[in-house]
């Protein structure tokens, strides 16, 4: 198994989309990129810790490639809005890819460039960060698989 970590707004929707991908064996909501050694949802949602809401995706690379996961990432959020997705505003909702190794970094940078050149977003600049993996804080249990647990439609914006 391999890991990939993405931030694309509210982690409930991000987790939901990745769970639908064949070859994804787990998707875990959490926090990354902040200043605190330990953090909670209550702290992160205030936007003062520097953490992003992220989903750490465990996947079988013999079934789904990292490039295919990147495609899911780009297609299911707006990478042109700085620190927001829909009505969720703050650095905790930023568009970010946390790479786990040099290969993921190169793939993420190449896919960002290809997606920007695709014209999907017109002349708008893609603001997605591509940064090294940092400490992953698993979100509280009630956030895991939240949409299915609560029988909700996806809260995430589809573009």
Instruction: Supply the residues annotated as catalytic.
Output: 10
83-117: string of b/e by CB count within 10 Å (b at 16+)? ebbeebeebbbbbbbbbeeeebbebbeebbeebbe
Contact status, residue 41 vs residue 140, Cβ threshold 8 Å: yes
Cross-strand bridge partners of residue 5: 56, 98
The two tokens of residue 15 are 């987790």
Contact status, residue 72 vs residue 52, Cβ threshold 8 Å: no
Contact status, residue 84 vs residue 47, Cβ threshold 8 Å: no
Backbone Cα Rg of the chain: 14
Q: d(Cα 55, Cα 86) in Å, to the nearest integer? A: 18
């Amino acid at each position: 198994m391999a890991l990939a970590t993405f931030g694309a707004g509210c982690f409930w929707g991000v987790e939901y989309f990745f769970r639908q991908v064949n070859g994804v064996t787990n998707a875990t909501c959490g926090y990354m990129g902040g200043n605190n050694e330990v953090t909670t949802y209550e702290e992160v949602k205030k936007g003062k810790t520097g953490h992003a809401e992220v989903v750490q995706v465990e996947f079988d690379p013999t079934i789904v490639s990292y490039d295919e996961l990147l495609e899911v990432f780009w297609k299911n959020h707006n990478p042109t809005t700085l620190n927001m997705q829909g009505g969720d505003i703050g650095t905790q909702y930023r568009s970010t890819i946390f790479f786990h190794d040099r290969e993921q970094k190169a793939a993420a940078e190449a896919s960002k460039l290809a997606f920007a050149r695709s014209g999907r977003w017109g002349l708008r600049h893609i603001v997605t960060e591509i940064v090294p993996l940092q400490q992953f804080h698993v979100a509280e249990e009630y956030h895991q698989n939240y949409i299915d647990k609560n029988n909700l439609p996806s809260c995430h914006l589809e573009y």
